[in-house]
Amino acid sequence: MAKIGFISLGCPKNLVDSEVMVGLLQKKGHTITADPAEAEILVVNTCSFIEASRMESIETILEAARLKNSGACRKLVVAGCLAERYPKQILENLKEVDALVGVNQIEDIVRVVSDEPVNLPDSYGRSDADLYLYDHTTPRALIGPRHSAYVKISEGCDHACAFCVIPKIRGRYRSRSIPSLVKEATRLASRGVKEIILISQDTTSYGLDFGMQDGLASLLEALAGIRPLRWIRVLYAYPSLFSDRLIGAMNSSEKICRYVDMPLQHASARVLKAMKRGGTRKSLSRLVGHIRKKIPGVAFRTAMIVGFPGETKADFLELKDFCREMEFDRLGVFTYSDEEDTIAGALYPKIPGRTAEYRRRVLMQQQKRISARKNRALIGQKLPVLVQGPARESDLLLEGRLQSQAPEIDGICLINDSEIDDVKSGRLYTVEITRAFDHDLLGRIVR
Ligand code: SF4
């Protein structure tokens, strides 16, 4: 039995893959260590979505490789999207890498650490039969906090966004069954998880692959019946699939977070068309307005891409004005990354990196003012907060999240006072907001 170290990069979907691999290895009796320096086997679960994440993955692999010379490491395994996309290039150029585990070979990790041969990932040659998706019977060990867990409801994607390589890496869309998801969520809740976060490439397509309409709505209603759960959050919604049935389901239980995460990517009809996403500024503002009217108090998160090939100054100003008008509660802005094997990779003119970066900064500056104003409006309000534990920046404070704050991507609520003794992590408390910052809040526990 080996001592194995895991480094998990990329999105929450990749984190779930890491947790499944850890679960499988622990079931086989292996020990998992949080300290890469003492690991005999190191697994780097990589991301390959855009240039920046690929660079981070390669740097992390090289860092891990150095441990083969200085630490206990005798075997270096690369898993995830980079392994799936560039198997041959990794083995040719990174000689320290001993084995690869693709995104559809998650369960091969057990054989790899036992030095058994496995096939190389082959995202081009694989068939549908090779596509992998864990279920409630698959061992899984939570790597993140004990009170909040991601649940992957499907894998792959059937959309064809011009800038995105994920369908090529992760394959066609395939959903898990509602009974399997309810069983997994029930087990997580029985282990103290208070918040589950439903993730996939597109949660609103859930169930379409087995002929279900509004599958996500039915899933939410089924999950809302799990007693110990307090919050059910949904990420990665797709604009054209956000139905009134889903809105109804989101309003059907206090447990379902009044939180919508819907990457819109742009607001110029011309750019949206080139991105193969469709829609116009008018149709998107109508959709956002409709959701806000039908789900009172909903927090709206979105993501935009600037610097897409052919994006003019006028397109950008329309996007900026749209974001000013919509006043999103949460906004992430990414600079376009030219990806081989994508439609956009062949589109011109390319926008210079510094122009794209300038546009990203301008949008985030505008958003900072919007976020600060919205946060100030919360001062004096008493709101439910899920306490996560000591603050990362100061052990004088606790940190938690409101329902309108998703982990890792949104701000937090710091807590510097309490009318309650012995505050416990993973519990919900009512917090009175006393101060507001650009993205974070400060408050005191009142009950
Ligand atoms: S919805 Fe579009 S951006 Fe998202 S994973 Fe699918 S193809 Fe990529």
Mind listing the pLDDT tens digit for each residue in 411-442?
Answer: 999 999 999 988 999 999 999 999 999 999 99
pLDDT score, position 85: 93
Boundaries of domain holding 417: 382-445
pLDDT score, position 125: 73
Q: Has residue 353 been placed in a domain?
A: yes
Helix 313-326 / helix 281-294 crossing angle, nearest 10 deg: 10
Going by CA atoms, what residue is nearest to atom 4 of ligand 1? 201
Instruction: Look at residue 107 and tell me whether its pLDDT is greater than 90.
Output: yes
Co-location of 419 and 329 in the same domain:
no
Q: Has residue 235 been placed in a domain?
A: no
CA end-to-end span of the chain: 48
How far does the centroid of ligand 1 lie from the alpha carbon of residue 75, in Å? 34
Q: Has residue 286 been placed in a domain?
A: no
Q: Is 202 in the pocket of ligand 1 (CB under 6 A)?
A: yes
Closest listed residue to residue 258, CA positions, set 405, 128, 146, 380: 405
Q: Has residue 355 been placed in a domain?
A: yes
Instruction: Look at residue 306 and tell me whether its pLDDT is greater than 80.
Output: yes
Q: Has residue 70 been placed in a domain?
A: yes
pTM score of the predicted model: 0.96
Q: Is 159 in the pocket of ligand 1 (CB under 6 A)?
A: yes
- 83: CATH: 3.40.50.12160
Co-location of 356 and 397 in the same domain:
no
Phi/psi of residue 432, each to 5°?
Answer: -90, 125
Q: Are 133 and 155 in contact (CB under 8 A)?
A: yes
How far does the centroid of ligand 1 lie from the alpha carbon of residue 306, in Å? 16
Please report, to the nearest 10 degrees, the dihedral formed by the alpha carbons of residues 120, 166, 257, 443 taken in order: 90
What integer is the mean pLDDT of 56-78?
Answer: 91
What integer is the mean pLDDT of 303-308?
Answer: 98
Co-location of 84 and 70 in the same domain:
yes
- Flag the least confident range among 82-96, 114-128, 148-162, 324-338: 114-128
pLDDT tens across 273-292, in order? 999 999 999 999 999 999 99
For a substitution probing ligand 1, which of 11, 13, 47, 161 has the most ligand atoms within 8 Å of its CB? Answer: 161
Q: Are 202 and 169 in contact (CB under 8 A)?
A: no
| Rounded Cα gap, residues 2 and 311, in angstroms | 52
Q: Is 389 in the pocket of ligand 1 (CB under 6 A)?
A: no
Co-location of 25 and 80 in the same domain:
yes
User: Which of 376, 405, 434 is a domain's end point?
Assistant: 376
Co-location of 386 and 313 in the same domain:
no
Instruction: Look at residue 336 and tell me whether its pLDDT is greater than 90.
Output: yes
| Rounded Cα gap, residues 305 and 336, in angstroms | 6
Ligand 1 atom closest to Cα of residue 165: 8
pLDDT score, position 387: 97
Q: Is 164 in the pocket of ligand 1 (CB under 6 A)?
A: yes
What integer is the mean pLDDT of 246-264?
Answer: 98
Ligand 1 atom closest to Cα of residue 157: 6
Distances (CA, A) of 16 to 134, 152, 174: 9, 7, 16
For a substitution probing ligand 1, which of 154, 202, 241 has the most ligand atoms within 8 Å of its CB? Answer: 202
- Flag the least confident range among 50-59, 62-71, 321-330, 438-447: 62-71
In Å, the largest CA–CA distance within the chain is 61
Which residues are CB-contacts of 69 (< 8 A; sequence separation ≥ 6)?
Answer: none
Q: Is 157 in the pocket of ligand 1 (CB under 6 A)?
A: yes
Tell me 49's DSSP state.
Answer: S
Which is higher by pLDDT, 178 or 337? 178
pLDDT score, position 127: 80
| Rounded Cα gap, residues 445 and 423, in angstroms | 9
User: Which of 93, 113, 133 is a domain's end point?
Assistant: 113
How far does the centroid of ligand 1 lie from the alpha carbon of residue 69, in Å? 39
Co-location of 315 and 399 in the same domain:
no
Half-sphere exposure of 73 (CA within 13 A, CB side): 27
Mean pLDDT of the chain: 95
100 band by pLDDT with thresholds 50, 70 and 90: very high
pLDDT tens across 346-400, in order? 999 999 999 999 999 999 999 999 999 999 999 999 999 999 999 888 777 899 9
Helix 313-326 / helix 353-376 crossing angle, nearest 10 deg: 10
Q: Has residue 78 been placed in a domain?
A: yes
Co-location of 325 and 422 in the same domain:
no
Q: Has residue 129 been placed in a domain?
A: no
pLDDT score, position 392: 84
- 409: CATH: 2.40.50.140
Ligand 1 atom closest to Cα of residue 236: 4
Co-location of 364 and 433 in the same domain:
no
Domains: count for the chain = 3
22 band by pLDDT with thresholds 50, 70 and 90: very high
Co-location of 324 and 365 in the same domain:
yes
User: Which of 337, 357, 376 is a domain's end point?
Assistant: 376
- Flag the least confident range among 71-75, 124-128, 167-171: 124-128
How far does the centroid of ligand 1 lie from the alpha carbon of residue 200, in Å? 10
How far does the centroid of ligand 1 lie from the alpha carbon of residue 171, in Å? 11
What integer is the mean pLDDT of 205-219?
Answer: 97
Co-location of 331 and 409 in the same domain:
no
Going by CA atoms, what residue is nearest to atom 2 of ligand 1? 161
pLDDT score, position 176: 98
Residue 41 bridge partners (DSSP): 4, 75
Amino acid at 196: I
Q: How many C-beta atoms surround the C-beta of residue 356 within 10 A?
A: 22
Q: Has residue 361 been placed in a domain?
A: yes
Distances (CA, A) of 375 to 8, 128, 363: 32, 47, 18
For residue 349, whether the previous peptide bond is cis, meaning omega lies within 30 degrees of 0, is: yes
| Rounded Cα gap, residues 214 and 195, in angstroms | 22
| Rounded Cα gap, residues 382 and 118, in angstroms | 55
Co-location of 391 and 362 in the same domain:
no
pLDDT tens across 141-173, in order? 999 889 999 999 999 999 999 999 999 999 999
How far does the centroid of ligand 1 lie from the alpha carbon of residue 252, in Å? 28
Co-location of 352 and 419 in the same domain:
no
Q: Is 167 in the pocket of ligand 1 (CB under 6 A)?
A: yes
How far does the centroid of ligand 1 lie from the alpha carbon of residue 355, in Å? 24
Distances (CA, A) of 33 to 24, 79, 147: 15, 17, 21
Share of the chain above pLDDT 70, in %: 100
How far does the centroid of ligand 1 lie from the alpha carbon of residue 262, in Å? 11
